Structure 1
C-alpha cells in the first residue's frame, strides 16, 4: 500500500467517527514538521532478568542513522505470552554470550510474535529515550556503530508475519525515527549488509510497506526505496550471477560462467567470504551457519571500481549486466569508448552522476 493510500484510509476512518491511533491526527499538511511519536511499552533487561554483560557496554555519543531488521530464525511459536517473550530474550543472550563470545545480547531490541517489545543489549533503552546516544551492538558487522538492530521472533522465509509482531515493529521503528531524526527510507534488512537470508523473504519483502507506515506515523514524505545489494541463493540464475562468476574469476576463483549459482560457484563464493570475514555472519539468534548465500556489502570487496582502459574479467562482468539492461557493451575488448558511453547512459537513467566510471553506487544499481 502506498503512502497516499494509507493517508486516504486514515482519513476515511476519521470521517466515519472512529478513533485515531496513538501515532497522531491525520490530515496534517504536507509541510508539517516530523511528528514526535509516543514511546511504546518496552520491557527492560531487568524485566526479563538478563545476565550482566561480561564487560562494559559501549555507549556512543552519536546518533544512529539507520535501522536494521532481523528475524531470530527460531521456531514460529504459538505462545504469544510475555513470559515466553522473556524466555526468548534469555535464550538469545545465552547464545550470544556463550556461543558467540559476545559481551551481551547482540541486538538493541527484541520483538516477539506476541508483539512484546524488549530491550536487548543493556543501556539501549536509556539511550533511545535520550535520543542523542547509541549503544554499540553486534548484529550487523561494520554497521553496528551506526545502526539500531531489531530482532523479530520467528523464521520468515515462508511464514507470514503475525499482526501483533508487525504492529509492534511499526511502533518501535516510528519511535526510533522520531527520537533520532532518522529518515524512514533508512530501514534495511540484515541481508542488505551481510551474506544472510535474514530477515527472511517474507519479512524482507514487506520492508517497503514498513517504511511507508513509519513515514506516515512520523509525518515524513513518501519514503524512497534504497538501493541495496542483491542476495544470491542456490540455483539463482541470470546476469547478476554471470557477473558474480566473472568477478570471482577476477579474484582467482575457478568457476564456470553459466549464469547459474551452482555448486562450483557457491564453493568459490564461500572461499571468497572466508577470506573477507567481516562480510560473513550467522543470523543473530540462530545456531545454523548460512553457507550457500552471497550478498550484502561483500559485493563491495568483490566488485572493483572500473574506469576507462581497465581490462579483464571484472570489465566483462560490468559489460554483461550493462548489456542485460539494454545498454550494449558486450564484445568490446576492455573498458573502451562503447562501455564508457553505456555506463553514462545507464547512470543518467538512474539519476547518478554521469562519470562513465563503474563505482559502487553504479554496481549496486546494475546488480540490483
Structure 2
C-alpha cells in the first residue's frame, strides 16, 4: 500500500461541437498571442523526497494535446493544508504506484495538495515542461497517456467542493502548462472525458467550465467549451439512461429494461460490452478498491452509438428518436452533441 493506513489511489488515482465559435491559443487570429504566464511554485521530486524511478522516464518528442484533471479520492479531505502534508501525499502516491501497481514512478506529472502546494509527480516532468516542446509520458489516462499531462488534486470531490487554496493553485498550474504547450482551453479535460470513471468527482468536474474561463483570463484569450459524452452510473435515471438502454439492446443485450433507471441489469450489460471491446479494466484502472466496473462513459459511448436515423426503427432508432426527430443521420459526433445538450 502506501505511506500510511487506509491509503490507495482511487483509492489514490480513483487516472466536437463547442459552445463558443472562437478557439484559444492554437486558433488565435494572426498577429495575436497568449500572454506569458509566470511559473507557479512547483516543488521538484528532490524537494519532497522522491525515490528514484526504476526505469528511464519516457519523453514524448512533441507537446501534449490535453491537460487532464484528476482527484485522488483517498485518503480523503484532510484539513492539514501544510507543505509537509503535500510532500507526504506525494511520497504516498509514489509508493503506491511503484510498489502496488508496479509502475516505474508516480503516474501523474503533477500533484496539487488541498493546501495549494504543487509538487512534481513523475521525474523530469517539470524540467521538460519548462522547455515547452516535449512532454513526459505518465500513467494516468488509459489509452491516452502519450497525449495527456495529468494533475492529481488531493481529495474526494464527488459531494464537496475543493478548498480555495487548491482551486487557486490549480488555475495557476493549468494556465502555466497551457501557456508553455499552447494548449487551447477546450482541451482542459477531466479524466472522465476519456475513460468510464467518476474522476475527478462530480463537483470538481462541474467546475471545469469555470476553470477554462479562469485559465483563459490568465492567458488573455477567449475560452472555448467542448461537448462531452455523459457519464452514467448505477442510480442514475432519465433520458440519457433510456438512450443507453435502447443502444445496449440494439447491441444484443436483450435483457436490459427500458425503464430509464441505471440498475443492476443495465450495469452488467455495460460491463459485458466493455469487456467485449477490451475496455473492462479501463475505468479507474489504477484504483485498489474503487468499483467503477459497468460505468458508461467517454470510451464506451462512441462504440455503443451507431450511425442511424430517428426513423430507422428498432432499438437504435428509438434511442435516436429520444434525442431528435431530424432525419439527418446521427453520427458519433451528433450523438455526443445531442446528449450534451
Q: Shorter-chain TM-score: what band?
A: 0.7 to 0.9
- Could you say if the C-alpha distance between residues 242 and 46 of structure 1 is closer, same or farther in structure 2, counting changes exceeding 3 Å? same
Asked if the contact 1:242–1:317 (Cα under 8 Å) also holds between the matched residues in 2, the reply is: yes
Counterpart of 2:95 in structure 1 is 94
Counterpart of 1:235 in structure 2 is 235
Asked if the contact 2:108–2:139 (Cα under 8 Å) also holds between the matched residues in 1, the reply is: yes
- How far apart, CA to CA, are the structure 1 residues paired with 2:72 and 2:303? 27
Counterpart of 1:34 in structure 2 is 34
Instruction: Report the CA distance between 1:67 and its aligned residue.
Output: 0.8
Counterpart of 1:266 in structure 2 is 267
Superposed, which structure 2 residues align to 1:134-145 within 5 Å? 134-145=135-146
Superposed, which structure 2 residues align to 1:88-167 within 5 Å? 88-167=89-168
1:49 matched to 2:49: yes
- How far apart, CA to CA, are the structure 1 residues paired with 2:187 and 2:35? 17
- How far apart, CA to CA, are the structure 2 residues paired with 1:209 and 1:187? 11
- Could you say if the C-alpha distance between residues 103 and 277 of structure 1 is closer, same or farther in structure 2, counting changes exceeding 3 Å? farther
SS of equivalent to 1:241: helix
SS of equivalent to 1:142: coil
Deviations 1:30-75 (A, max 9, x none): x852100010111111212222222222101110121110000111
- How far apart, CA to CA, are the structure 1 residues paired with 2:214 and 2:288? 29
Instruction: Report the CA distance between 1:303 and its aligned residue.
Output: 1.4
Counterpart of 1:9 in structure 2 is none
- How far apart, CA to CA, are the structure 1 residues paired with 2:243 and 2:130? 45
Counterpart of 2:4 in structure 1 is none
- How far apart, CA to CA, are the structure 2 residues paired with 1:191 and 1:85? 25
SS of equivalent to 2:46: coil
- How far apart, CA to CA, are the structure 2 residues paired with 1:184 and 1:207? 10
Instruction: Report the CA distance between 1:189 and its aligned residue.
Output: 0.9
Counterpart of 2:331 in structure 1 is 359
- Could you say if the C-alpha distance between residues 63 and 281 of structure 1 is closer, same or farther in structure 2, counting changes exceeding 3 Å? same
- Could you say if the C-alpha distance between residues 114 and 70 of structure 1 is closer, same or farther in structure 2, counting changes exceeding 3 Å? same
- How far apart, CA to CA, are the structure 2 residues paired with 1:117 and 1:73? 17
Superposed, which structure 2 residues align to 1:169-318 within 5 Å? 169-221=170-222, 223-253=223-253, 254-278=255-279, 280-282=282-284, 284=286, 287-306=289-308, 312-318=314-320
Instruction: Report the CA distance between 1:285 and its aligned residue.
Output: 6.0
Counterpart of 1:336 in structure 2 is none
Asked if the contact 2:310–2:318 (Cα under 8 Å) also holds between the matched residues in 1, the reply is: no
Higher helix share: 1
SS of equivalent to 2:77: coil
Moved more, 169-178 or 300-309: 300-309
Structure 1: gaps spanning 5 or more residues: 1-30, 328-341, 344-355
Instruction: Report the CA distance between 1:290 and its aligned residue.
Output: 1.9
Instruction: Report the CA distance between 1:283 and its aligned residue.
Output: 6.7
Instruction: Report the CA distance between 1:251 and its aligned residue.
Output: 2.2
Counterpart of 2:73 in structure 1 is 73
- How far apart, CA to CA, are the structure 2 residues paired with 1:71 and 1:111? 9
Cα RMSD (Å) of the superposition?
2.0
SS of equivalent to 1:67: strand
Asked if the contact 1:66–1:182 (Cα under 8 Å) also holds between the matched residues in 2, the reply is: yes
Instruction: Report the CA distance between 1:360 and its aligned residue.
Output: 1.4
- How far apart, CA to CA, are the structure 1 residues paired with 2:99 and 2:196? 23
- How far apart, CA to CA, are the structure 2 residues paired with 1:281 and 1:47? 32
Moved more, 250-259 or 299-308: 299-308
Q: Which has the larger radius of gyration?
A: 1
Instruction: Report the CA distance between 1:239 and its aligned residue.
Output: 2.0
Asked if the contact 1:36–1:178 (Cα under 8 Å) also holds between the matched residues in 2, the reply is: yes
Deviations 1:295-323 (A, max 9, x none): 1221112112336996643233222222x
- How far apart, CA to CA, are the structure 1 residues paired with 2:124 and 2:252? 45
Q: TM-score, normalised by structure 1?
A: 0.79
